[in-house]
């Protein structure tokens, strides 16, 4: 017999667990099933966010404990080195495993999560949604879908990808300055925007990632570059690995009365940076107080912010058409803008004054080129 639920959720990842942990507090009397293809929560991710005044305190709101935080950041390239003290803001690292574990604990008993089941097909029937999986079929009235599947018609801008390979490494001597996070250290590359991201956890231990923004990332080449980058630290021991390919684009997900997309495929990844934890938290906060009821799932669909989309569209064009110049764009942005405006902008919460500050800090030629380009 096919078991029926009020809501099926595909994926027990960041967007669905943050959403359920918060929204279920409003006591919905609904039966909810989450289907996750992974066998269990794994150690393959970190979630970093900017925190500070005017931003939702993610740790407090979601009862999470961050592992590391920095109030000094570094961005470098083109012979320039920009160091900033971003107090009272900070850059915060959440361990992916602990985060998902904690969110899962918070929804325990209220929903059913089935691990190790891959959803193969979804059919919207007249009054139900049918989910066909590797272990049978499920029926529900509504579906929240966090699979990272994006169709061409949902992409509303240039489409590039952020690809990265990272390792937490340990070295023998005190190589790292653990009071400062390197957000972007650009490498020379004519065809892609390429940089190293380095989060020092201790003087001997750091997460080091090699990242490219590219129309067509080649993971083999990236791996070779990454190994070369790691060699700069001398002899090291690898403690953990993570890698990803994240879409960088403006996305308008197709939605129906019964099915809504959430997370990456719904446009909850910031197009110009690839970050999503903050965007997910903002989306949930926009629905604050609303209880999940029968028939109201559609009202939770993600709506983007048109003024931020305007900037991201230009960023994406510059990154795509002038990859050799995009370091200049980021360096100017970090060096010329006021850090409070910058962080609120990167966290999707800028005021008009912040936006003016951001516009004034951008290299005008590049921005005009991006603005004038016809799609
Ligand atoms: C390695 C890595 C590091 C990142 N670091 C940061 C960061 O520091 N800060 C930040 O803001 N963002 C970061 N991101 C981007 C973003 O935060 C994450 O990708 C985030 O997990 C997005 O949430 P989501 O719910 O859309 O996707 P996920 O968290 O990936 O959740 C989707 C879930 O759906 C499951 N799934 C997919 N297909 C199926 C299927 N067919 N059947 C069943 N289950 C399925 C997946 O296994 C997954 O668990 C990172 C991404 C990666 C990959």
**What is the tens place of the pLDDT at every residue in 157-194?**
999 999 999 999 999 999 999 999 999 999 999 999 99
Asked if residue 150 has its Cβ within 6 Å of ligand 1, the reply is no
Q: Is 375's pLDDT higher than 60?
A: no
Write down the pLDDT at residue 373.
66
Asked if residue 118 has its Cβ within 6 Å of ligand 1, the reply is yes
Write down the pLDDT at residue 266.
97
Q: Determine contact, residues 33/9, Cβ cutoff 8 Å.
A: yes
Asked if residue 36 has its Cβ within 6 Å of ligand 1, the reply is yes
Asked if residue 58 has its Cβ within 6 Å of ligand 1, the reply is no
Among protein residues, the one whose CA lies closest to atom 52 of ligand 1: 244
Q: Determine contact, residues 84/72, Cβ cutoff 8 Å.
A: yes
Alpha carbon distances (Å) from 105 to 63, 114, 232, 329: 11, 14, 40, 42
Q: Which tokens sit at 57? A: 């305190």
Cα 264 to ligand 1 centre (Å): 7
Write down the pLDDT at residue 141.
95
Whose CA is closest to 295, among 323, 328, 257, 327?
A: 257
Write down the pLDDT at residue 44.
86
Q: How far is Cα 23 from Cα 17, in angstroms, rounded to an integer?
A: 10
158, with CB counted inside 10 A (0-12, 13-18, 19+), is: buried
Q: How far is Cα 73 from Cα 333, in angstroms, rounded to an integer?
A: 14
Angle, vertex CA 271, rays to CA 305 and CA 296, nearest 5:
50
**What is the tens place of the pLDDT at every residue in 247-259?**
999 999 999 989 9
Asked if residue 347 has its Cβ within 6 Å of ligand 1, the reply is no
Write down the pLDDT at residue 26.
76
SS3 sequence, 241-279?
Answer: EEEEEEEECCECCCCCCCEEECHHHHCCCCCCCCCCHHH
Q: Determine contact, residues 3/112, Cβ cutoff 8 Å.
A: no
Q: How far is Cα 353 from Cα 350, in angstroms, rounded to an integer?
A: 8
Q: Where are the alpha helices (DSSP H) in the chain?
A: 14-23, 58-61, 96-107, 219-231, 277-286, 306-321, 326-336, 339-346, 352-361, 364-372
Q: Are strands 236-248 and 160-171 parallel, antiparallel or unpaired?
A: antiparallel
Q: Which atom of ligand 1 is nearest to the CA of 35?
A: 43
When pLDDT is averaged across residues 144-169 and rounded to a whole number, the result is 96
Alpha carbon distances (Å) from 140 to 14, 33, 98, 122, 259: 22, 9, 30, 11, 10
Asked if residue 165 has its Cβ within 6 Å of ligand 1, the reply is no
Q: How far is Cα 297 from Cα 299, in angstroms, rounded to an integer?
A: 5
Q: Is 5's pLDDT higher than 90?
A: yes
Q: What percent of the chain has pLDDT over 90?
A: 84
Q: How far is Cα 71 from Cα 91, in angstroms, rounded to an integer?
A: 6
pLDDT band (50, 70, 90) for residue 316: very high
**What is the tens place of the pLDDT at every residue in 59-105?**
999 999 998 999 999 999 989 999 999 999 999 999 999 999 999 99
Q: Which residue has the higher pLDDT, 37 or 1?
A: 37
**What is the tens place of the pLDDT at every residue in 273-306?**
999 999 999 999 999 888 888 788 899 999 999 9
What is the edge-to-edge ordering of all strands in the sheet holding 90-95? 46-51, 90-95, 68-70
* DSSP, res 266: G
Q: Which atom of ligand 1 is nearest to the CA of 94?
A: 8
When pLDDT is averaged across residues 225-244 and rounded to a whole number, the result is 96
Q: How far is Cα 89 from Cα 347, in angstroms, rounded to an integer?
A: 11
**What is the tens place of the pLDDT at every residue in 107-121?**
999 999 999 999 999
Q: How far is Cα 297 from Cα 318, in angstroms, rounded to an integer?
A: 37
- pTM metric for this prediction: 0.96
Write down the pLDDT at residue 369.
73
Q: Determine contact, residues 134/39, Cβ cutoff 8 Å.
A: no
Asked if residue 15 has its Cβ within 6 Å of ligand 1, the reply is yes
Cα 350 to ligand 1 centre (Å): 25
Q: How far is Cα 371 from Cα 244, in angstroms, rounded to an integer?
A: 29
Q: How far is Cα 366 from Cα 83, in angstroms, rounded to an integer?
A: 23
Q: Is 224's pLDDT higher than 90?
A: yes
When pLDDT is averaged across residues 27-56 and rounded to a whole number, the result is 93
Torsions phi, psi for 186 (to 5 deg): -75, 145
Q: How far is Cα 34 from Cα 347, in angstroms, rounded to an integer?
A: 28
Q: How far is Cα 350 from Cα 24, in angstroms, rounded to an integer?
A: 29
| 3-state secondary structure (DSSP) of residue 346 | helix
Q: Determine contact, residues 346/276, Cβ cutoff 8 Å.
A: no
Asked if residue 46 has its Cβ within 6 Å of ligand 1, the reply is yes
When pLDDT is averaged across residues 20-43 and rounded to a whole number, the result is 90
Cα 14 to ligand 1 centre (Å): 6
When pLDDT is averaged across residues 49-68 and rounded to a whole number, the result is 96
pLDDT band (50, 70, 90) for residue 374: low
Q: Which residue has the tokens 């030629």?
A: 365
Q: Determine contact, residues 199/93, Cβ cutoff 8 Å.
A: yes
């Amino acid at each position: 017999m096919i078991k029926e639920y009020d809501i099926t959720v595909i994926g027990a990842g960041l967007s669905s667990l943050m959403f359920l942990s918060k929204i279920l507090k409003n006591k919905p009397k609904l039966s909810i099933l989450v289907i996750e293809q992974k066998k269990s929560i794994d150690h393959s991710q970190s979630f970093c966010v900017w925190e500070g005044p005017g931003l939702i305190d993610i740790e407090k709101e979601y009862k999470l404990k961050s592992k590391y935080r920095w109030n000094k950041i570094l961005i470098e390239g083109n012979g320039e080195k920009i160091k900033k003290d971003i107090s009272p803001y900070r850059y915060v690292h959440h361990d992916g495993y602990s985060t998902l574990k904690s969110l899962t604990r918070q929804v325990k008993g209220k929903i059913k999560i089935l691990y190790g089941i891959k959803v193969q097909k979804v059919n919207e029937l007249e009054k139900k949604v049918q989910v066909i999986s590797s272990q049978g079929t499920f029926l529900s009235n509504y579906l929240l879908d966090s699979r990272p599947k994006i169709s061409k018609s949902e992409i509303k801008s240039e489409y590039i990808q952020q690809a990265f390979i990272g390792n937490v490494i340990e070295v023998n001597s005190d190589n790292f300055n653990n009071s400062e996070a390197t957000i972007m250290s650009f490498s020379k590359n004519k065809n892609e925007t390429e940089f190293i991201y380095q989060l020092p956890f201790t003087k001997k231990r750091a997460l080091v990632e090699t990242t490219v923004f590219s129309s067509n990332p080649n993971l083999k080449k990236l791996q070779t570059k990454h190994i070369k980058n790691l060699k700069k630290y001398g002899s090291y021991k690898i403690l953990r690995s993570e890698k990803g390919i994240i879409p960088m684009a403006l996305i308008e997900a197709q939605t129906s009365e019964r099915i809504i997309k959430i997370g990456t495929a719904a446009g909850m990844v910031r197009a110009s940076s690839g970050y999503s934890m903050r965007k997910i938290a903002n989306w949930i906060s926009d629905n604050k107080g609303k209880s999940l009821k029968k028939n109201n799932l559609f009202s939770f669909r993600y709506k983007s912010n048109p003024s931020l989309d305007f900037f991201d569209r230009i960023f994406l064009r510059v990154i795509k058409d002038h990859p050799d110049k995009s370091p200049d764009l980021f360096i100017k942005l970090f060096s010329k803008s006021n850090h409070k405006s910058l962080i609120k902008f990167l966290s999707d919460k800028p005021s008009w004054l912040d936006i003016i500050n951001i516009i004034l800090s951008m290299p005008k030629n590049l921005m005009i080129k991006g603005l004038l380009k016809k799609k």
